[in-house]
Amino acid sequence: MARPGKPVGAITRGTTGHNRLRRCDRWIAAVHGRSLRAAERPLVVDLGYGASHATSLELFTRLRRVVPGVEVVGIEIDPARVAVAKPYEREGLTFRLGGFELPVPRPPTLVRAFNVLRQYEEAEAWHYWDVLRGRLAPGGVLVEGTSSESGRRAVWVGLSPEGPQTITFSARFSAFEQPSDLADRLPKTLIHRNVPGERIHAFLRDFDHAWAVSAAHGAHGARQRWLAALRALSRSWPVPARPPLGGPARWRLGEVTLPWSAIDPREKPE
């Protein structure tokens, strides 16, 4: 249990960079913009923003376009990183010291934690999923994920207060040879499960197969091949085909979202 006043968690590497989380920001705005707009005083937490304020500021700027009244609070467990970010505060964007206890004045509508839990043990990652979703406002969402340093490959999970709901794979078309290349960005709760007999492994195997049989569409570009692969994959996996989670408008961005239940490692395949 946390001692009062001591942030819960551990200081880890602070690697970050401009635009690293753009793919996830875009998804948050498209998929959760409506619920953020519906909230009375929407509060978004960027947990573990790292060595610079950049990704918190980008999240704030992008969300303000679709949710004018949104407030963003960047939370860091490293006091030095809070001091570095403080000068960049502005109306609606603040930075403060804290950890998984989330020291904010009211339950957040959305918490983003990117490239944070991968530096913890798998059992801790499951535990902090529960802790963080327990802090959400009713109808809120935790977006927990991992990306490459450039942000060209990313995987994230969307959790409601009730538990994990979605998993999203997102990549620049030039950043992979086959879809399973994204496996190195799986969240901590899944990275060790990418082995035969596990659903996530079966999904990535089938995605690679769908990609291979769609090779001819590559003559019209990788985007067309991705769209064809997703149509093929949809025959055996429950890929949402309608907005906000799915459909061509999202897929053409190099993205696909699945219901978490399709790959939940706590449920074994038949």
Ligand X SMILES: C[S@@+](CC[C@H](N)C(=O)[O-])C[C@H]1O[C@@H](n2cnc3c(N)ncnc32)[C@H](O)[C@@H]1O
Q: Which stretch binds ligand X (CB under 6 A): 71-79, 163-171, 182-190, 237-245?
A: 71-79
Confirm or reject binding of residue 94 to ligand X (CB under 6 A).
no
Residue matched to tokens 């990549």: 171
Report residue 108 CA to chain centroid gap. 16
Which member of 94, 109, 115, 214 binds ligand X (CB under 6 A)? Answer: 115
Confirm or reject binding of residue 13 to ligand X (CB under 6 A).
yes
Which member of 31, 43, 45, 47 binds ligand X (CB under 6 A)? Answer: 47
Residue with the shortest CB distance to ligand X: 9
Confirm or reject binding of residue 166 to ligand X (CB under 6 A).
no
Closest approach, Cβ 42 to ligand X, in A, equals 20
Confirm or reject binding of residue 129 to ligand X (CB under 6 A).
no
Q: Which stretch binds ligand X (CB under 6 A): 12-20, 25-33, 37-45, 262-270?
A: 12-20
Confirm or reject binding of residue 43 to ligand X (CB under 6 A).
no
The whole-angstrom separation of Cα 242 and Cα 251 is 10
Confirm or reject binding of residue 100 to ligand X (CB under 6 A).
yes
The whole-angstrom separation of Cα 153 and Cα 165 is 21
Which member of 23, 53, 62, 81 binds ligand X (CB under 6 A)? Answer: 81
Q: Which stretch binds ligand X (CB under 6 A): 2-10, 25-33, 188-196, 225-233?
A: 2-10
Confirm or reject binding of residue 114 to ligand X (CB under 6 A).
yes
Nearer to ligand X, 13 or 65 (CB): 13
- Residue type at position 219: A
Confirm or reject binding of residue 145 to ligand X (CB under 6 A).
no
Q: Which residues would be at the binding site for ligand X (CB under 6 A)?
A: 8-16, 20-21, 47-50, 55, 75-78, 81, 99-100, 114-116
